Amino acid sequence: MKNMSNYCIVIDTSGLRCPLPVLKVRKHLPYLKQNDLALIIADDPLAEIDLRHFCDLKSYTLENVSTEDADEKKYYEIKCKN
C-alpha cells in the first residue's frame, strides 16, 4: 500500500473507464501548486495513455507509474510543473 501522506492529493478512479479517469483528474489537478505531487489510482488499461497525453498538453509531468502485486490497479504520480 502506498503512503498516501506523500501526496497533496489522491484521486482514486478505480472502476471508471475511459474517458472518465482523465476527466476526473483534469477536474481536480488545477488545485496543485508548483512541485506538488498527486497520486492517481486507476484500473482502466487505457488510463496511462490518457494521463500521459493529458500531462503533455498541460503543465504536469508523469513522474512514476507503479503497480502492486495484490491488485490490478496502477499508481500514477503526477507533478505540477508551474
Q: How far apart are CA 70 and CA 76, in angstroms?
A: 16
Active site residue ranges:
18
The C-alpha atoms of residue 46 and residue 37 are separated, in whole angstroms, by: 22
Whether the Cβ atoms of residue 42 and residue 14 lie closer than 8 Å to each other? yes
Listed in sequence order, the residues at least 6 apart from 63 whose beta carbon sits closer than 8 Å to its beta carbon are 37, 77, 78, 79
